[in-house]
C-alpha cells in the first residue's frame, strides 16, 4: 500500500535518548490495516454507504479463516487471530456466523490441553480469544449444537459424539486444574471461569463427563478454600515473636482466601445459571449435582454463597423427593437415576427458583497494551533465529546469555 507514514505519528530518536523513556507510538499503521481489513466478497463501502478513509486491505475472510485453522500452533498466528477478533469487527462477525467453528476452536483447545508445553503468554492469548468469542450468545448456542465424531488428541478418555461446547468445558476446567497445581496465576483462572460463565446459560445437552468435571471443579476449589480458612484461623491463634512477619503471612492468606471465595462464587453462578435457564436440556448436570450433593453442604449457610445454594437445593429437593417416591426393586443404577431425571425434567417448571442477573464477562484491553505486546512480539522475533547483541537491546529488559542458541526461551 503506497501510503506515507506521518512522521508525527512515529517516535524518532537520536543516539542520546533512552528508548525506554520515549513516548509510545501514536498510531501503528500495521494494526490499523488489520483492523480495517475487509472481506473481498463485499464492497469497500460500509453498510451505510460511507467510503473508508484511505486505502483498505481486501482479502478473502474465508481463506483467512481456513488458513488460521491450519497454523494456529504457531504463536505468531495466534497473535494475528487475536488482533483480528479483537480489532476487526467485520472479521469477528464473520467468525461468529461460521457453522464450522471447530476449524478454529479445535486447534485452540488442543493447545490448551497441552498447556504444560506452552508459554504463559500463549495461554493468555488463546483464552482471551475464547473470551471474546464467548461474549456472543449465538456463539455459545452454536458450540453446544456442533457434535464432534471424536477427539483424537484427548488422552484421558475416549470422547465420541461429544459437543464442541462440552469439550470446551472439559478443557477449560483442565486448564484451571493445571494452573492451580503449576502456574498459580489468578489472571488465567479468572479468564477460564469468565468463559465458562458466559457459556453457562446457553448449555445444551452437556455431556456426562463435562458435568462431572464442573461439579468436581467446585469440590477442588472448596477443598483449597477450606485449607486456607484453616490456615488463617491457625495463624490468628498462634503467638509468634515476630509479629510483623506473622501479620504479613496472615494478610497473604486473607488475600488468597478472598480470591478463592470469588472463584467458588463464580462456579456456583455457572451451575446456578445452567439449572435456572437450561435445566430441562441438561439432565447430566442434574445427575452430577445429585451424585455429589454433599460437596455443597459446608457452604449452605455461608453468607457469600447461601443465596445461590438456595436454588441448587431447590433442584436437589425436587429430584430427591421424586426418587424417594419411586418404588424401586433393587438398587439405583446410573441408568435408572438418569431415566427418572429425564422423566421429571419434562415436568420441571422452576418453581421456587430465584432469578439472578446472568453473570457476563467482557474483555477489555489494558490502557497500555504495548507494554505486553511489544516485548511479546520481539520475543517471538528473537526465537526465530534473528541475531541481535543481547547487551544492546533497550526496547525491553531481556536476560539472554551469550552462549544461548537463538531459539531458546528467553525471559523478557
Per-residue pLDDT band for 356 (boundaries 50, 70, 90) equals confident
pLDDT per position as a tens digit, 168-205: 999 999 999 998 887 688 889 999 999 999 999 999 99
Residue 396 has φ and ψ, to the nearest 5°, of: -155, 155
Determine the pLDDT at residue 9.
40
Rounded mean pLDDT of 125-145?
96
Q: How far apart are CA 140 and CA 101, in angstroms?
A: 11
Determine the pLDDT at residue 205.
94
CB 96 within 8 A of CB 49: no
Determine the pLDDT at residue 410.
39
Residue 293 has φ and ψ, to the nearest 5°, of: -65, -20
Q: Reply yes or no on whether the pLDDT at 383 is more than 70.
A: yes
Per-residue pLDDT band for 396 (boundaries 50, 70, 90) equals low
Q: Lowest-pLDDT range, 47-51, 257-261, 350-354, 356-360?
A: 47-51
Q: Reply yes or no on whether the pLDDT at 148 is more than 70.
A: yes
Q: What is the chain's mean pLDDT, rounded?
A: 84
Distances (CA, A) of 26 to 7, 95, 276: 10, 29, 47
Q: Reply yes or no on whether the pLDDT at 411 is more than 50.
A: no
Determine the pLDDT at residue 195.
97
Rounded mean pLDDT of 348-371?
89
Percent of the chain with pLDDT over 70: 81
Distances (CA, A) of 358 to 173, 264, 272, 349, 363: 20, 16, 10, 19, 16
Q: How far apart are CA 106 and CA 112, in angstroms?
A: 10
HEC-encoded secondary structure of the chain: CCCCCCHHHCCCCCCCCCHHHCCCCCCCHHHHHHHHCEECCCCCCCCCCCCCCCCCCEECHHHHHHHHHHHCCCHHHHHHHHHHHHHCHHHHHHHHHCCCCHHHHHHHHHHHHCHHHCCHHHHHHHHHHHHHHHCCHHHHHHHHHCEEEECCCCCCCCCEEEEHHHHHHHHHHHHHHHHHHHHCCHHHHHHHHHHHHHHHHHCCCCCHHHHHHHHHHHHHHHHHHHHHHHHHHHHHHCCCCCHHHHHHHHHHHHHHHHHHHHHHHHHHHHHHHHHHHCHHHCHHHHHHHHHCHHHHHHHCCCCCCHHHHHHHHHHHHHHHHHHHHCCCCCCCCHHHHHHHHHHHHCCCCCCCCCCCCCCCCCCCCCCCCHHHHHHHHHHHHHHCCCCCCHHHCCCCCCECCCCCCCCCCCEC
Per-residue pLDDT band for 342 (boundaries 50, 70, 90) equals very high
Determine the pLDDT at residue 384.
83
In 3D, which of 307, 227, 230, 224 has the Cα closest to residue 269? 307
Rounded mean pLDDT of 352-369?
89
Q: Reply yes or no on whether the pLDDT at 97 is more than 70.
A: yes
Determine the pLDDT at residue 298.
93
Q: Reply yes or no on whether the pLDDT at 297 is more than 60.
A: yes
Per-residue pLDDT band for 28 (boundaries 50, 70, 90) equals confident
Q: How far apart are CA 172 and CA 192, in angstroms?
A: 6
What is the DSSP secondary structure assignment for residue 344, as one 8-state letter? Answer: H
Cβ contacts of residue 198 below 8 Å, gap of 6+?
131, 134, 135, 140, 359, 360, 361
Determine the pLDDT at residue 17.
47
**Count of CB atoms within 10 A of residue 60's CB?**
12
Determine the pLDDT at residue 402.
43
Q: Reply yes or no on whether the pLDDT at 3 is more than 70.
A: no
Per-residue pLDDT band for 2 (boundaries 50, 70, 90) equals very low
Rounded mean pLDDT of 247-252?
62
Determine the pLDDT at residue 330.
73
In 3D, which of 396, 394, 411, 382 has the Cα closest to residue 16? 394
Say whether 389 sits in a helix, a strand or coil.
coil
Per-residue pLDDT band for 254 (boundaries 50, 70, 90) equals confident
Q: Reply yes or no on whether the pLDDT at 207 is more than 90.
A: yes
Amino acid at each position: 500500500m503506497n501510503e506515507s507514514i506521518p512522521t508525527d505519528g512515529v517516535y524518532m530518536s537520536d543516539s542520546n535518548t533512552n528508548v525506554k523513556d520515549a513516548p509510545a507510538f501514536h498510531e501503528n499503521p500495521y494494526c490499523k490495516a488489520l483492523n480495517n481489513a475487509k472481506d473481498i466478497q463485499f464492497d469497500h463501502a460500509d453498510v451505510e454507504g460511507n467510503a473508508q478513509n484511505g486505502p483498505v486491505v481486501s482479502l478473502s475472510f474465508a481463506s483467512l479463516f481456513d488458513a488460521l485453522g491450519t497454523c494456529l500452533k504457531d504463536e505468531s498466528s495466534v497473535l494475528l487471530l487475536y488482533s483480528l477478533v479483537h480489532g476487526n469487527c467485520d472479521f469477528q462477525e464473520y467468525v461468529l456466523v461460521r457453522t464450522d467453528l471447530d476449524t478454529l476452536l479445535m486447534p485452540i483447545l488442543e493447545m490448551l490441553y497441552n498447556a504444560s508445553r506452552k508459554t504463559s503468554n500463549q495461554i493468555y492469548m488463546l483464552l482471551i480469544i475464547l473470551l471474546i468469542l464467548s461474549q456472543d450468545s449465538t456463539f455459545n448456542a452454536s458450540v453446544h449444537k456442533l457434535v464432534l465424531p471424536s477427539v483424537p488428541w484427548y488422552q484421558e478418555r475416549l470422547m465420541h459424539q461429544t459437543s464442541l461446547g462440552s469439550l470446551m468445558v472439559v478443557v477449560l476446567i483442565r486448564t484451571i486444574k493445571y494452573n492451580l497445581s503449576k502456574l498459580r496465576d489468578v489472571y488465567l483462572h479468572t479468564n477460564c471461569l469468565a468463559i465458562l460463565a458466559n457459556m453457562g446459560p446457553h448449555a445444551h445437552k452437556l455431556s456426562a463427563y463435562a458435568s462431572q468435571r464442573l461439579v468436581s471443579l467446585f469440590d477442588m476449589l472448596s477443598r483449597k478454600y477450606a485449607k486456607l480458612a484453616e490456615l488463617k484461623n491457625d495463624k490468628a491463634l498462634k503467638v509468634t515473636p515476630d509479629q510483623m512477619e506473622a501479620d504479613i503471612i496472615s494478610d497473604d492468606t486473607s488475600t488468597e482466601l478472598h480470591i478463592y471465595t470469588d472463584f467458588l462464587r463464580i462456579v456456583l453462578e455457572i451451575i446456578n445459571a445452567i439449572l435456572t435457564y437450561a435445566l430441562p436440556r441438561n439432565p447430566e448436570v442434574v445427575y452430577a449435582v445429585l451424585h455429589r450433593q454433599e460437596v455443597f453442604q459446608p457452604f449452605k449457610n455461608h453468607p457469600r454463597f447461601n443465596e445461590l445454594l438456595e436454588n441448587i437445593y431447590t433442584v436437589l429437593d425436587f429430584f430427591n423427593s421424586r426418587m424417594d417416591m419411586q418404588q424401586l426393586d433393587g438398587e439405583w443404577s446410573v441408568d435408572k437415576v438418569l431415566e427418572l431425571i429425564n422423566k421429571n425434567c419434562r415436568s420441571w417448571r422452576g418453581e421456587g427458583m430465584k432469578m439472578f442477573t446472568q453473570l457476563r464477562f467482557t474483555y477489555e484491553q489494558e490502557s497500555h497494551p504495548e507494554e505486553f505486546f511489544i516485548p511479546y512480539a520481539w520475543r517471538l522475533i528473537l526465537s526465530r533465529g534473528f541475531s541481535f547483541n543481547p547487551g544492546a537491546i533497550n526496547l525491553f529488559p531481556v536476560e539472554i546469555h551469550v552462549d544461548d542458541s537463538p531459539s531458546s526461551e528467553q525471559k523478557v
